[in-house]
Chains A and B, each alone.
Chain A
């Protein structure tokens, strides 16, 4: 019973968000039903729109899967955006290095280096947390801005396109450095397979391995984990590495997929939005797939609404914020059940 409520409250949160969004549209003088239709139905009413939905869900799902490892074990990595950007920087650097190479090996090397980049960047807050006792929330957050500024420096300065009239961007990557497109005329690319494989692997790790067991126990009760003799430090570093690698993969998937070069804005805050995805999906691999599709729709909806209703593109964030508000709020329904089981709320 309590388990079904656990997965039903996200649905409740989505309905409340639609309702709240309708009210906001009404206050701003729009017909709420029509505005919501532009936001949530028009964008995916054709094949191109559906492909765009998957293009946006691909990085969101990937990052959220990685974050679920951290959040499940009570490690607050909120710097996935920085890890995504750093992965993009490393992957992009390798892509520029192999600019004149042409071979099947180019893309895998780029993807791998992006994942390693994200992983190394995530290890900074992990190592500082384990060895210096620093707060991972603040460190991972600060590093987002460091990564953004590093990217800015590179695309304006040393990596900028020599024939680019000083635009803040690198060259377009060569064909062999691009993700294969799955269907002609659509933007959906092979990165979706990386995401799906990651979802499957993470399910295996979380539910079928000793590490997954450790992660879950540490999340439920740190005391129990200590009593069981789990090596906390190693686990903290591993979950950050997994989550950073996923974010790095998402970054490299973006630059070799839809973007095809490095520039200032390689991510519309996917790293932050993925936090909402992870929560909405209840830190469960299957749940996260559904959640990533719904949150991706808010990105698309904002673009459609920008065209048809002349509202700013940031409108999507109103919905993203509301989803998380309502989701967190409706968790209160679960609270007394969980108290009954003898767990504290923040160990959920």
Chain B
């Protein structure tokens, strides 16, 4: 078997494409978790985004509306989570699980009439450059605009969290809601905003799946990617740049599986699929052993309910 350079380029391009939904969802969830909120509803918000995007594309025949609509619907469904956890002070874990269960059910109900409808072609950028340059062409060009956005997002997120005042406020709220509140910061408002932002990004991640990656609607089409995105945030120890690297590794495993089946290597596919989960557990063990390390990396108040005495 000969490995020509162009083939490797196409392979890398495919890995990048498969990591996009993970980057988007994980970057959104990262902001949410940095503010101290653990939202296990990623899978549910993604699938709602996927069906809303696809349904809007079919109904309006306009991809822009579809993409914006998917983000809005992700935002709306995350508002349920926000209302419950922030205003009614419910447990984050249970509420997030309910959101995922509800989202999968709701998307299937909405999507009933959209099964089997073919998707629309999503415009890809710089297609002529992709074909004319070997190796670099298929890596850098011929992707959708959402892919370019996704690859820029971790850097933006990193800058936002580390260099801006709003980013600092979010981290302060996540690390010590009581002190932040004493400084006059409206903890509930900050957390609401972070939850809604996370919802919108998960919605966009879902739309990427149903509009671009596999352009059609299939029940339960996110297929556990939301849970991988959650794992990814931990794997990346809540650092945006590491989310990007992790997403490429996890996305790479997906693509590798397909090719290994084709080549006929003897490693079981299931072992490869299990790797992201096993690696996340190992990373968790490594960062949690050292209490100093976990303090440096984990939002201290993650998953805890904040209630301001009046």
Residues on A facing B (Cβ under 8 Å): 24, 28, 76, 78, 128, 132-135, 137-139, 141-143, 145-146, 149-150, 152-153, 156-157, 272-273, 275-276, 279, 310-322, 324-325, 328-329, 331-332, 335, 344-346
On chain A, the residues within 8 Å of B108 by CB distance are 312-315, 317
**Is A321 a contact partner of B103 (Cβ separation < 8 A)?**
yes
| CB under 8 Å from chain A, chain B span 291-308 | 291, 294, 303-305, 307
Known pairs A28-B109, A317-B104, A321-B100; list 10 more (Cβ under 8 Å): A78-B93, A133-B289, A133-B294, A137-B38, A273-B101, A276-B101, A314-B107, A321-B98, A324-B101, A331-B88
Say yes or no for B94: interface residue by CB 8 A criterion. yes
**Is A132 a contact partner of B289 (Cβ separation < 8 A)?**
yes
Residue in A closest to B105 when the chains form the complex, CB atoms: A317
**Is B91 a contact partner of A272 (Cβ separation < 8 A)?**
no
CB distance from B26 to the nearest CB of A (A): 14
Q: How far is the CA of A238 from the CA of B13 in the complex (A)?
A: 48
Q: Which of B98, B224, B281, B288 contacts A325 (CB 8 A)?
A: B98
**Is B277 a contact partner of A146 (Cβ separation < 8 A)?**
yes
User: Ordered nearest first, which 10 A-B pairs have the shortest CB separation?
Assistant: A321-B102, A317-B105, A314-B108, A318-B105, A324-B98, A328-B90, A153-B270, A312-B108, A149-B270, A142-B277
The contact sample of 23 A-B pairs, CB cut-off 8 A, is A128-B285, A133-B288, A135-B284, A137-B40, A138-B284, A142-B280, A145-B274, A146-B274, A146-B277, A146-B278, A149-B273, A149-B274, A153-B270, A272-B97, A275-B94, A312-B111, A312-B112, A312-B219, A314-B104, A317-B105, A317-B108, A332-B88, A345-B305
On chain A, the residues within 8 Å of B305 by CB distance are 344-346
Secondary structure at the A interface, as helix, strand, loop or mixed, is helix
**Is B268 a contact partner of A157 (Cβ separation < 8 A)?**
yes
Say yes or no for B231: interface residue by CB 8 A criterion. yes
Q: A78-B93, A146-B277, A152-B270 are contacts. A311–B109 as well, Cβ < 8 Å?
A: yes
Q: How far is the CA of A150 from the CA of B270 in the complex (A)?
A: 7
Say yes or no for B45: interface residue by CB 8 A criterion. no
A-B contacts, CB under 8 A, total: 153
Q: A325-B98, A346-B304 are contacts. A76–B231 as well, Cβ < 8 Å?
A: no
Q: How far is the CA of A271 from the CA of B92 in the complex (A)?
A: 18
**Is B93 a contact partner of A153 (Cβ separation < 8 A)?**
no
Size band of the B side of the interface? Answer: 35 or more
Q: Which of A152, A272, A310, A329 contacts B101 (CB 8 A)?
A: A272
**Is B285 a contact partner of A134 (Cβ separation < 8 A)?**
yes
Say yes or no for B106: interface residue by CB 8 A criterion. yes
Q: A132-B285, A133-B294, A315-B108 are contacts. A325–B277 as well, Cβ < 8 Å?
A: no
Q: How far is the CA of A316 from the CA of B108 in the complex (A)?
A: 10
Q: Which of A135, A276, A314 contacts B98 (CB 8 A)?
A: A276
Q: Which of A141, A311, A322 contacts B102 (CB 8 A)?
A: A322
Q: A317-B104, A318-B106 are contacts. A143–B95 as well, Cβ < 8 Å?
A: no
Residue in A closest to B228 when the chains form the complex, CB atoms: A145
CB distance from B84 to the nearest CB of A (A): 6
CB distance from A334 to the nearest CB of B (A): 11
**Is A317 a contact partner of B280 (Cβ separation < 8 A)?**
no
On chain A, the residues within 8 Å of B224 by CB distance are 145
On chain B, the residues within 8 Å of A321 by CB distance are 44, 98-103, 105-106
Say yes or no for B227: interface residue by CB 8 A criterion. yes
| CB under 8 Å from chain A, chain B span 104-131 | 104-109, 111-112
Say yes or no for B229: interface residue by CB 8 A criterion. no
